[in-house]
Amino acid sequence: MAGVARFRKGILRAALATTAVATAGAAWTGSYVSSSDPVEARSEAAAAVAQRMVSADWKVPSRSMQEMSLRGCTAANPLDILVIGGGATGCGVALDATTRGLRVGLVERDDFAAGTSSRSTKLVHGGVRYLEKAFFKLDYGQLKLVFHALEERAQILQNAPHLCKPLPTMTPCYEWWELPYYWVGLKAYDLVAGTRMLHLSRYFSKKESMEAFPTLAVKNSLQKTLKGTVVYYDGQMNDSRLNIAIACTAALAGATVLNHAEAVQLKKDPKTGKVIGARIRNNLTNKEFDVYANVVVNAAGPFCDEVRTLADGKESHIISPSSGVHIVLPDYYSPDHMGLIVPKTKDGRVVFMLPWLGRTVAGTTDSAAALTMRPEPHEEEIQFILDAISDYLTVKVRRSDVMSAWSGIRPLATDPNVKDTDTASISRDHVVCVDPDGLVTVTGGKWTTYRSMAEDAVNAAIKTGSLRPGQDCLTHELPLMGAYGWDPAFFTVLSQTFIRMKRSYGGKIVPGAMDSAAAKHLVDSYGGLAPRVAQIAQEEGLGKRIAHGYPYLEAEVAYCARHEYCESVVDFIARRARLAFLDTNAATRALPRVIEILAAEHGWDRHRKKMELEDAKAFLETFKSARNAQFDDGKHSKMHA
């Protein structure tokens, strides 16, 4: 055993040393060894995959190579699995299957995470809400959901520590009975979490609560006085960046992943009636081609009924779409490192207010919705969130403070035989079903449980296609791209090693500091690969920020185009950087420069640049900030007239 541990430790050290040199190249003069040891507890098979990820010259295959490789998957040379949908679930399936040694392709009609997976509350949660139901309804099924989510939460935090962090969240109590109620409930959550607990929950007196959350109201709207709070921990993530890390890790491990490629038709064997592939349209070129596979996995999230209909022409009703809206407010609405949850607002709903990427995210709503890739928040939904949080804050809550607002569609999976239109009461657990024509559909669940959903779907695909994987599922112990070499203090190394070379207004390239804000942001977004981005900033004169007040650098646009399949301006402002979600005004202002850099990377002509600008503006119109809101609060309408 000690020998195996030494072997693993050796791999880690070699890997980190290689990463350090490879990532920073000539600029890197020091050595850096992470104090965490992610490989130590892992299997040798996982370590071997990880080794590939950190080899000095790794690069994800180019988009054209990926398309060529998919085109080569003919009826005589089929893939083992073709995945439709590049959200968290589909990318999870691709990663799981490829690391088991299967031949996998994935097509995503828009961008990775363009659907629900970039529009979540960003919580990696152990399902504290299910625990309440488990105890009060003595429902073992709900308790199992909690155990399951806690296990998956622990694994996400372990496998992508740069993108997911524990976040303390405060529950304010304005009635005496609430204190023991929430304290006991959250202590039970700690107990159920056991070794997977992030930190102990604890009671905060009124004074401590005010120190930790200065904008918390001492009296709520019902004139009840704050009695104290109970603070517990869950994980918080950068959802679309995590999704992209899963997609790129899958690509690095051998999967052929292609964004902006849509399954427009499913192919069936005329003799057996089984699904044997799909007709794919490259949405950037409009060219179509066929891809054959032994099994097709439908991971199209809220759109999975559409894909099932492509297979058999019949209407499918697995999904009850429900939309959830979030709004983004300035940083002063919440402290840097403390969230707020109101488990029951005066109209009985749950509301969160969480610090995220230097701003405050508040949400959410739950209402039946029509299916669209670009859902828009309604004014009443935004107003509902503002009203709900204003009951608990001393800050004057203003509609004009909304910097961005977005809507996402939950893929709530229902049993078609149960008639239930109340979306809030449907279980969030996932569904894996295999149709008689062999199409495997995986949907429902949560972001937090994407990995185990993928594992179940791959197991079903293996059974359906009698596939022969080389090994068992590895993903529970597989670090994602960027995890190696990451350490909470890594930003200091970046700050001390690199400078940001920037083009001045006069056109000269001048040096600037890699300040802590930029270094922290790079490390939190790219983990151990941050030096690669910093090196572009330093050596290619792309060290300027793309938006005032935000840490995003021009170098990131080039890096994402080269290494993260960033194919459009919306891919960058919404999923690689989160500017569209944080501040639609800042995102709009950044468009010309982002287009310029992407045009240089991808060789776009004037027509394409114009189209990109138009599409990005249309996209940002669906994010209802104060700028594009249809409302009148007197002061605000004058400001923006």
Ligand X SMILES: Cc1cc2nc3c(=O)[nH]c(=O)nc-3n(C[C@H](O)[C@H](O)[C@H](O)COP(=O)(O)OP(=O)(O)OC[C@H]3O[C@@H](n4cnc5c(N)ncnc54)[C@H](O)[C@@H]3O)c2cc1C
> Which positions touch ligand X (CB under 6 A)?
84-90, 107-110, 114-117, 119-123, 125, 262-263, 299-303, 307, 324, 364, 408-411, 443, 445-448
Paired residues of 293 in beta bridges? 79
* Residue number, 20 or 97, with CB nearest to ligand X: 97
Amino acid at 33: V
* Residue number, 38 or 324, with CB nearest to ligand X: 324
Compute the least distance from the CB of residue 108 to ligand X, in Å. 5
* Residue number, 412 or 597, with CB nearest to ligand X: 412
Cβ contact 121:352 at 8 Å: yes
Structure-token match 């293996």, residue found: 462
Compute the least distance from the CB of residue 489 to ligand X, in Å. 28
Compute the least distance from the CB of residue 342 to ligand X, in Å. 16
Distance of CA 394 to the CA centre of its chain: 31
Cβ contact 135:188 at 8 Å: yes
Q: How many CB atoms lie within 10 A of CB 491?
A: 20
* Residue number, 86 or 551, with CB nearest to ligand X: 86
Compute the least distance from the CB of residue 359 to ligand X, in Å. 16
Compute the least distance from the CB of residue 625 to ligand X, in Å. 17
**Residue 510 and residue 411: Cα distance in Å, rounded?**
49
Amino acid at 407: S
* Residue number, 447 or 526, with CB nearest to ligand X: 447
Taking the CA of residue 170 as centre, how many other CA atoms within 13 Å lie in the half-sphere pointing to its CB? 32
Distance of CA 250 to the CA centre of its chain: 15
* Residue number, 258 or 587, with CB nearest to ligand X: 258
Cβ contact 412:366 at 8 Å: no
Angle between helices 490-497 and 530-539 (to 10 degrees): 20
**Residue 38 and residue 147: Cα distance in Å, rounded?**
23
Compute the least distance from the CB of residue 326 to ligand X, in Å. 6
Instruction: Find the helix or strand (DSSP H, E) in which 591 lies.
Output: helix 584-602
* Residue number, 449 or 538, with CB nearest to ligand X: 449
Compute the least distance from the CB of residue 448 to ligand X, in Å. 4
What's the Cα-to-Cα distance from 627 to each of 336, 378, 586, rounded to whole Å? 25, 15, 11
* Residue number, 438 or 543, with CB nearest to ligand X: 438
Compute the least distance from the CB of residue 427 to ligand X, in Å. 13
Paired residues of 623 in beta bridges? none
Compute the least distance from the CB of residue 393 to ligand X, in Å. 21
Local structure of residue 60 (DSSP, 8 states): P
* Residue number, 121 or 538, with CB nearest to ligand X: 121
Paired residues of 354 in beta bridges? 361
Compute the least distance from the CB of residue 172 to ligand X, in Å. 20
Compute the least distance from the CB of residue 547 to ligand X, in Å. 25
DSSP character string of 437-485: T--EEEEES-GGGHHHHHHHHHHHHHHHHT---SS---GGG-PPTT-TT
Strands 288-298 and 440-444: parallel
* Residue number, 117 or 201, with CB nearest to ligand X: 117
**Residue 532 and residue 248: Cα distance in Å, rounded?**
15
Compute the least distance from the CB of residue 153 to ligand X, in Å. 9
Compute the least distance from the CB of residue 383 to ligand X, in Å. 17
* Residue number, 182 or 447, with CB nearest to ligand X: 447
Quote the tokens at residue 499: 């400078």
Omega before 364 within 30 of 0, i.e. cis: yes
Compute the least distance from the CB of residue 54 to ligand X, in Å. 27
Nearest Cα neighbor of 82 from 436, 439, 392, 353 is 439
* Residue number, 38 or 115, with CB nearest to ligand X: 115
Distance of CA 231 to the CA centre of its chain: 25
Q: Where are the alpha helices (DSSP H) in 286-428?
A: 304-312, 379-390
Instruction: Find the helix or strand (DSSP H, E) in which 17 lies.
Output: helix 2-24
Paired residues of 618 in beta bridges? none
* Residue number, 243 or 584, with CB nearest to ligand X: 243
* Residue number, 247 or 595, with CB nearest to ligand X: 247
Instruction: Find the helix or strand (DSSP H, E) in which 434 lies.
Output: strand 430-434
Contacts of 18 (CB under 8 A, 6+ apart): 54, 55, 56
Compute the least distance from the CB of residue 276 to ligand X, in Å. 17
What's the Cα-to-Cα distance from 185 to each of 128, 132, 171, 180, rounded to whole Å? 9, 7, 11, 8
Nearest Cα neighbor of 340 from 331, 351, 330 is 351
Quote the tokens at residue 219: 């009296």
**Residue 350 and residue 365: Cα distance in Å, rounded?**
9
* Residue number, 89 or 464, with CB nearest to ligand X: 89
